[in-house]
């Protein structure tokens, strides 16, 4: 069955995935699921032979039949039937997980990999609908069920799903997925990044079932500048005008019967007298229940306000300093993409130990477990769209791709109290085409969520006449709430003590967030503070940075680079980097470097 297409819904707050067949369902996290994690059969396909049902270079009796396409998962009929692939005899890989880290022969592989999983599924009710959801696959994915194409998705870090109700059959079902992680100039991100290009089904895959009439999307958050009024927007599927949806928040004594309009939607607000606001010191989450006929959906939602007043950041009306750290989605000890609750607990636990109340999830949307765990632990979050370095600014398809990935993460995380910043980009060179591109993203974001702050990690430049003067005057800063920029004084320019004489000229009266600073160090490598790659050199950078940044009047927070060492093909120095970016405060084996304790002490006393 096809989901209803609701034009008003798209305008209101749900974001259609340009590259996927089905709109994202809200809060599959709390729906009953049938996991498809585990061992999948795989076939490597560097020439993309499996994508074609006939050869493109010859049209004669030797052309291959449609059964030759891997997505058909065909079997030889008898001993005379020649088949050149067979999932049954193929090797296996674990899902979630990258192919790179599961077999040495795939470590540097960039190309296509076919996955197949057989499953059986019996619906609880005849009219129920069934979806298959992928929490993330890098980078371009085509999905087939029982030989029929469900659709495709572009982007390695956001979820996508398909309605499979009409294609399910009794007994075994064959789910075939081809994932290609090749980098492209017009992609988002583009060909050149400073992190490892993990390929494959890197996050959870599961089935879930809903009644024919069900809740598809909702946003339940405090209205902008209204600390005692909860805005409620709900979208439904298959529900006629006049149908009822029950909203319950027991601790707030809210029990409201809401009426669906002719578009299958609800838009209202509920006033509350007394509410315990979510914050790092009080990560209060309320149990929220929505009931629409046979569809019962629960969530855990925190309520807080976030705003700026000049150069101040106000959380629940009170000024707060963002004591942060940047994080890549990589579990350094396990040595692969992070995806699980345990991964999230480890990474955010380290950030807590560091003294953080804020994390920057760089340079792309992380998995949902990170945001759910941040809600529980009271960790504020910066979420970032993977518009990184030199995107193809004038390519309209590139913009649509960037907007789609931003829309998908906003759809997934709009009810997470921890998310206080949507970031548009990282280290993008100023220019007219870039400014147009990013301003369109800002307009799109504001139109769909006016309750969070907007930013981007920008850059500084030196004064041409006086190199001791650092200037921040990016024109794009006019369009964001937080003035954020990256700087590496003491590492890429000068020495640690070079920061002593730096003077900052910042033309905007906005909160200043230093989105990156730091330097590399090999854990266990020691020397004096003038020897690069030593823990002492990195510690000196952090010590001097704290002195320099404290002199900036608008300084409101920082997310130094970075929590842990992470894999990067751009870092080949033997004996030091060995394929890792060494700017982490914690090594890939979990060893804390001296700079960890410098920053920890600063945050403790800030």
288: nearest Cα among 351, 220, 236 = 220
Distance CA 31, CA 298 (A): 8
Structure confidence by residue, pLDDT tens digits, 225-261: 899 999 999 999 999 999 999 999 999 999 999 999 9
pLDDT at 65: 59
Decide if pLDDT at 340 tops 80: yes
CA angle 94, 71, 151 (to 5 degrees): 90
Q: What percent of the chain has pLDDT over 70?
A: 94
Q: Locate the DSSP E strands across 188-321.
A: 205-210, 214-222, 229-237, 244-249, 254-259, 265-271, 286-292, 295-301, 306-309, 312-315, 318-319
Structure confidence by residue, pLDDT tens digits, 400-455: 999 999 999 999 999 999 999 999 999 999 999 999 999 999 999 999 999 999 99
pLDDT at 22: 65
Lowest-confidence region among 159-168, 205-214, 464-473, 529-538? 464-473
pLDDT at 51: 82
pLDDT at 63: 43
Query: Cβ neighbours of residue 528 under 8 Å, at least 6 residues apart?
Result: 534, 536
pLDDT band at 218 (very low <50, low <70, confident <90, very high): very high
**Omega prior to 363 cis, within 30 of 0:** yes
| 4 DSSP 8-state letter | P
Mean predicted confidence (pLDDT) in 381-407: 97
Q: CB of 234 within 8 A of CB of 210?
A: no
Structural domains in the chain plus CATH codes: 7-210 (2.60.120.260), 214-303 (2.60.40.10), 307-605 (3.20.20.80)
For strands 419-426 and 380-384, give the pairing: parallel
Q: CB of 239 within 8 A of CB of 264?
A: yes
Structure confidence by residue, pLDDT tens digits, 519-554: 999 999 999 999 999 999 999 999 999 999 999 999
Mean predicted confidence (pLDDT) in 380-388: 98
Q: CB of 389 within 8 A of CB of 158?
A: no
Report the chain's mean pLDDT, rounded to a whole number: 93
Q: pTM (2 decimals)?
A: 0.93
Query: What CA–CA distances, in Å, run from 432 to 193, 386, 394?
Result: 23, 20, 10
Give 26-89 as a 3 state SS string: CCHHHCCEEECCEEEEEEEECCCHHHCCCCCCCCCCCCCCHHHCHHHCCCCCCCCCCCCCCHHH
pLDDT band at 67 (very low <50, low <70, confident <90, very high): confident
**What does 592-603 look like in DSSP terms, one character per residue?**
BPHHHHHHHHHH
pLDDT at 328: 98
pLDDT band at 82 (very low <50, low <70, confident <90, very high): confident
Q: What is the largest CA-CA distance in the chain?
A: 81
pLDDT band at 578 (very low <50, low <70, confident <90, very high): very high
For strands 205-210 and 33-35, give the pairing: antiparallel
- CA-based R_g, the chain, Å: 25
146 or 57, which is more confident: 146
Mean predicted confidence (pLDDT) in 267-285: 97
Distance CA 430, CA 389 (A): 10
Distance CA 581, CA 195 (A): 8
CA angle 175, 178, 183 (to 5 degrees): 155
Structure confidence by residue, pLDDT tens digits, 4-63: 333 333 333 333 333 444 689 999 999 999 999 999 999 999 999 998 644 444 434 444
């Amino acid at each position: 069955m096809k989901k209803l297409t609701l034009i008003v819904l798209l305008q209101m707050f749900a974001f259609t995935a340009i590259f996927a067949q089905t709109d994202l369902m809200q809060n599959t996290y709390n729906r009953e699921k049938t996991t498809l994690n585990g061992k999948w059969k795989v076939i490597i396909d560097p020439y993309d032979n499996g994508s074609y049902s006939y050869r493109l270079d010859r049209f004669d009796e030797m052309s291959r039949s449609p059964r030759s396409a891997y997505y058909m998962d065909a079997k030889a009929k008898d001993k005379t039937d020649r088949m050149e692939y067979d999932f049954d005899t193929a090797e296996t890989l674990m899902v979630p997980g990258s192919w790179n880290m599961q077999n040495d022969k795939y470590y540097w592989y960039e190309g296509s990999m076919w996955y197949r999983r057989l499953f059986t599924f019996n619906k609880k009710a005849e009219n129920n609908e069934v979806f298959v959801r992928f929490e993330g696959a890098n980078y371009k994915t085509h999905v087939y069920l029982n030989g029929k194409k469900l659709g495709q998705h572009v982007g390695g870090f956001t979820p996508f799903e398909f309605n499979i109700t009409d294609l399910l059959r009794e007994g075994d079902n064959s789910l075939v997925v081809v994932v290609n992680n090749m980098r492209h100039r017009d992609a988002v991100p583009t060909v050149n990044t400073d992190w490892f290009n993990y390929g494959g089904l890197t996050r959870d895959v599961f089935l879930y079932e809903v009644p024919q009439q069900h809740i598809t999307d909702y946003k339940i958050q405090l209205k902008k500048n209204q600390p005692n009024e909860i805005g409620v927007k709900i979208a439904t599927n298959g529900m006629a005008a006049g149908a009822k949806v029950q909203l319950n928040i027991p601790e707030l004594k809210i029990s409201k019967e809401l009426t669906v309009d002719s578009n299958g939607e609800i838009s209202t607000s509920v006033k509350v007298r007394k509410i315990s606001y979510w914050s790092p010191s009080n990560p209060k989450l309320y149990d929220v229940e929505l009931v629409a006929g046979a569809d019962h959906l629960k969530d855990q939602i925190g309520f807080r306000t976030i705003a700026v007043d000049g150069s101040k950041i106000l959380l629940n009306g009170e000024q707060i300093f963002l004591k942060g750290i940047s994080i890549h989605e990589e579990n350094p000890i396990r040595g692969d993409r992070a995806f699980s609750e345990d991964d999230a607990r480890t990474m955010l636990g380290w950030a807590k130990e560091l003294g953080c109340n804020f994390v920057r999830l760089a340079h792309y949307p992380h998995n949902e477990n990170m945001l759910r765990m941040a809600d529980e632990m009271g960790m504020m979050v910066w979420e970032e769209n993977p518009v990184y370095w030199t995107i193809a600014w004038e390519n309209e398809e590139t913009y649509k791709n960037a907007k789609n990935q931003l829309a998908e993460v906003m759809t997934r995380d709009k009810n997470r109290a921890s998310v206080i910043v949507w970031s548009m980009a990282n280290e993008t060179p100023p220019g007219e085409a870039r400014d147009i591109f990013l301003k369109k993203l800002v307009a799109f974001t504001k139109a769909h969520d006016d309750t969070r702050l907007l930013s981007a990690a920008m850059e500084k430049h030196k004064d041409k006449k006086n190199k001791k003067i650092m200037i921040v005057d990016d024109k794009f800063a006019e369009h964001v709430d937080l003035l954020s920029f990256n700087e590496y004084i003491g590492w890429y320019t000068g020495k640690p003590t070079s920061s002593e004489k730096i003077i900052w000229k910042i033309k905007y009266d906005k909160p200043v967030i230093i989105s990156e600073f730091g330097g590399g160090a090999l854990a266990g490598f020691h020397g004096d503070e003038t020897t690069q790659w030593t823990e002492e050199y990195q510690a000196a950078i952090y010590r001097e940075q704290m002195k320099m940044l404290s002199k900036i009047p608008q300084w409101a927070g920082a997310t130094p680079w970075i929590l842990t060492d992470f894999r990067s093909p751009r870092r080949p120095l033997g004996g030091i980097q060995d394929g890792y970016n060494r700017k982490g405060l914690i090594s890939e084996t979990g060893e804390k470097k001296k700079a960890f304790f410098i920053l920890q002490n600063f945050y403790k006393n800030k």
